[in-house]
Amino acid sequence: MKCHKNPQLRDTPKTCVECHKKVDRHKGILGPECSQCHTLKDWKEIQFDHNKTRFTLIGKHQKTDCLKCHTTAALKTTPKTCVECHKKDDYHKGKLGRECDRCHTAVDWKQIGFDHSKTLYPLTGKHVDVSCTKCHVKEPYKIPSQCSSCHQKDDKHKGKLGDSCENCHSEKGWKDVQKFDHQKASFQLLDKHRDVRCSDCHKTALFKDTSSVCNDCHIKDDYHKGHFGKKCEVCHTAKTWKRDDFDHAKETGYALVQKHGLLKCEQCHVNQLFIQRTSRMCVRCHQKDDIHEGELGTRCEICHSEVGFKVIKRISSGENYFDPRKRVRMVVSPKDGPVASLKIAPESANRVQSK
């Protein structure tokens, strides 16, 4: 009797709405074919294919109860813009407009699909992994693109190097210094200085206070203990600490020839304090080699040369050799025998006698 109101049964309505008009929440706006959405199994069981509408349900919209969006029975008047449903969730308070789908997706409200590469500040390196709210801490979202606007607290240079951090650093990592061209600085890096870490010279973050004087960095390496001043570059180069191009003749007036040219500096300059001038007298270095035991004086060069200590200059008969310090004239003749056996006679004799 619920459907058949009279005994004839012939006039029983066949459309849903004729029986269910009183429960039709849509008030007839969606037409009489309730079966398009509802089933006979349960009035509340909905089988409507939303994909056939102009608003396809994807992501979390698929799990949303119809009444969450369709707050009135007039389903066709349901708003289609995000903000009309999600106004209460709008963290931006409407300042970024109504098209939430420019950044957000229906999969998850917190999942951002914004393409930052289309902005004036593309994200690269570690910036890609940073949460939006790390940079965009407050509205509006148009924030300065200068590094210091976000990294001021990380600036070890205390602003002394300006706010263009990208001159030295990159987005690969804060400690990744690779862009700075030291050749454009007042102190160019040459040879071994190129291999030195920045922090080895720049002990503080205020790089501009770093001294360019060699001795300020190499004082521990200074064998001369500061006696030659701070300008190490007068003798040394950045290629190697050990100098091999020192022009001894030009810079000291004492030319190194023959075997002297093969000696290491420290063989003559035994105390490294080169400013204490090393004596040019042969005997000062060769006293241990003097087989004459000092009896022929200190001018070894009269008979010997830098070719070799054992090489004796040929002395012809009758040649005179005068030693102004001893005021002795040595007259040598063949009968005098080997020079090594000569012995200086008393000044009164003024002649060298053979042993």
pLDDT tens digits for range 69-99 = 887 766 777 888 888 888 888 888 887 888 8
What is the rounded CA–CA span in Å between residue 33 and residue 46? 13
Q: Binning pLDDT at 50, 70 and 90, where does residue 314 land?
A: low
Is residue 296 classed exposed, middle or buried when 0-12, 13-18 and 19+ CB atoms within 10 A define those classes? buried
- H or E segment at 252? helix 248-252
What is the rounded CA–CA span in Å between residue 213 and residue 231? 7
Beta carbons within 8 Å of 238's beta carbon, 6+ residues apart = 190, 191, 192, 193
What is the rounded CA–CA span in Å between residue 121 and residue 129? 15
DSSP letter string, 175-209: EEE----GGGSSS---GGGGGS-HHHH--SS-GGG
Residue among 311, 284, 310 at smallest CA distance from 299:
284
Q: With 70 as the cut, is the pLDDT of residue 355 above it? A: no
> Which phi and psi angles does 177 have, rounded to 5°?
-105, 115
| pLDDT, average across residues 278-290 | 84
pTM: 0.43
pLDDT per residue as tens digits for the range 100-127: 888 888 888 777 778 888 888 899 999 9
Instruction: For the chain, give every domain's residue range.
Output: 16-78, 226-278, 288-354
Beta carbons within 8 Å of 273's beta carbon, 6+ residues apart = 224, 225, 227
What is the rounded CA–CA span in Å between residue 90 and residue 100? 9
| pLDDT, average across residues 326-350 | 43
**Which pLDDT score is estimated for 127?**
92
Residue among 297, 316, 300 at smallest CA distance from 308:
300
Residues facing residue 309 across a β-bridge = none
pLDDT per residue as tens digits for the range 27-80: 777 778 888 888 888 877 777 888 888 889 988 898 888 878 887 766 777 888
Q: Return the half-sphere exposure (C-beta side, CA atoms, 13 A cut-off) of residue 253.
A: 4
What is the rounded CA–CA span in Å between residue 191 and residue 243? 14
**Number of other CB atoms surrounding residue 202 within 10 Å:** 14
Residue among 16, 56, 58 at smallest CA distance from 37:
16
Residue listed under structure tokens 């006979």: 40
pLDDT per residue as tens digits for the range 237-268: 888 777 666 788 887 888 988 999 888 887 88
Q: Return the half-sphere exposure (C-beta side, CA atoms, 13 A cut-off) of residue 218.
A: 20
- Is the CB of residue 137 less than 8 Å from the CB of residue 130? no
